[in-house]
Amino acid sequence: MPGKRLFIAVFLIPPLLLYGIFVVSPYAQAFQIAGTNWSGLSPTYDFVGLDNFQRLLSDGYFWNALRHNGLLLVLLPVVTILLGLFFASMISVGGRADRVGVHGVRGAGFYRVVYFFPQVLSVAIVGVLWKEMYAPHTGMVNGFLRAVGLDGLAVAWLGDPRFSFWCVMAVMIWMNVGFYVVLFSAAMQSIPRDLYEAALLDGAGRLTTLVRLTVPLVWDTIQVAWVYLAIIAIDGFAIVQIITDGGPSSSSDVVGLRLYKTAFADGQFGYASAIGVAMFFLTLTVAAMFLRVTRRERVEL
């Protein structure tokens, strides 16, 4: 057909150019810069091979940050998915059977809308909001604790190395649960109602129904949720940077923040790229491990 080649070229080349310049080339360069001692300001740099990676192995700050990412990787998906499943099952099948059968609780639509609020807000708003929530004198958290007479518990949440990391993790759970409630309850909508009625007739309680019936049927969705929460856990940069900036004394540091500071505060661009490359391979490893572990038989309906 005449003009077909021209058409394809006109439609494909501009997007490819934009994509190549700003996305593909930086990723490719990351690997190259990781092998240098470039400080960014100097025009010259030396190729240092794997020195950056060797330095990484003995870098206490890096390991400290990595440990926090590891904790997030384990706890964030577990807690978020459990809460999500629990709320979603309450919303979609929590109202027990009556004459019209098993259905959702009253106000299900309202809950779905409200739970989703944190998801549409930017991480900057969530971060700043919670930083104020945790503030020792003016924050809502301590205000509540004092109001109910627990003055002893009203501590400087973000200023204490024992609590700061957990406070940030709580915010990450808070901002993500709503999305998975909506996702899981959408998945649960497609489960035939009569299965629930049968379970009810067999005398299964809510918990048994959730564990034995609902979870196997939405297992695919749970896997997807796990992957996305794992990605959030490996990153975590923005929310940590805004709420605690990794402090006090690196007690809430994560690898993404380490990379950012190494590059843009210390100017060690070669080393920062090496951190990025290391994280890249860690991500791949985690993904591969995950795929092996979750090979579980699918339930056919």
Partner 1 sequence: MFLAGWALLTTLPLLWAVLSSFKSDTEILTDPWSLPSRLRWENWERAWNEAHIGRYFLNSAIVVTGALTLTMLFGAMAAYVLARYRFRGRRIVYFAFVGGMMFPVFLALVPLFFVVRNLGMLGTLPGLTLVYAAYSLPFTVFFLTAFFRTLPTSVAEAAMVDGCGHFGLFFRVMLPMARPGLVSVGIFNFLFQWNQYVLPIVLMQGEGAEKKWVLAQGLTALAVNEGYRGDFSGLFAGMTIAMLPVIAGYLLFHRQVQSGLAAGQLR
- Residues within window 24-43 making contact with partner 1, judged by CB under 8 A: 24-30, 33, 40
Length of the chain: 301
Of the pair 11, 47, the CB lying nearest partner 1 is at 11
Q: What angle do CA 245, 246, 252 make, to 5 degrees?
A: 140
d(CA 184, CA 161): 35
d(CA 275, CA 259): 6
Listed in sequence order, the DSSP H helices in the chain are: 4-19, 25-33, 51-57, 60-93, 108-115, 117-120, 123-133, 140-147, 164-189, 193-201, 206-208, 215-217, 219-235, 237-243, 255-264, 269-293
Site for partner 1 in 205-264 (CB under 8 A): 224, 228, 231, 234-235, 237-238, 242, 256, 259-260, 263-264
> Which of residues 50, 78, 82, 113 is near partner 1 by CB under 8 A?
113
Of the pair 110, 198, the CB lying nearest partner 1 is at 110
**Of the candidates 155, 217, 153, the residue with the CA atom closest to the CA atom of residue 186:** 217
> Which of residues 46, 63, 101, 110 is near partner 1 by CB under 8 A?
110
Measured from the CB of residue 243, what is the shortest distance to partner 1 in angstroms?
10
Q: At what angle do helices 269-293 and 219-235 cross, to 10 degrees?
A: 160
Of the pair 160, 194, the CB lying nearest partner 1 is at 160
Is there a contact between 257 and 265 (Cβ–Cβ < 8 Å)?
Answer: no
Measured from the CB of residue 223, what is the shortest distance to partner 1 in angstroms?
11
> Which of residues 50, 82, 121, 150 is near partner 1 by CB under 8 A?
121
> Which of residues 48, 56, 72, 90 is near partner 1 by CB under 8 A?
90
> Which of residues 78, 128, 198, 289 is near partner 1 by CB under 8 A?
128
73 binds partner 1 (CB under 8 A): no
Q: At what angle do helices 108-115 and 60-93 cross, to 10 degrees?
A: 160
Q: Which stretch binds partner 1 (CB under 8 A): 6-14, 47-55, 66-74, 157-165?
A: 6-14
Q: Which stretch binds partner 1 (CB under 8 A): 19-27, 49-57, 205-213, 290-298?
A: 19-27
Measured from the CB of residue 200, what is the shortest distance to partner 1 in angstroms?
20
Measured from the CB of residue 265, what is the shortest distance to partner 1 in angstroms?
11
Q: Which two structure tokens, joined as six digits, stand for 100?
A: 């019209």
Measured from the CB of residue 93, what is the shortest distance to partner 1 in angstroms?
13
Q: Which stretch binds partner 1 (CB under 8 A): 10-18, 43-51, 191-199, 209-217?
A: 10-18
Q: What angle do CA 226, 231, 235 make, to 5 degrees?
A: 145
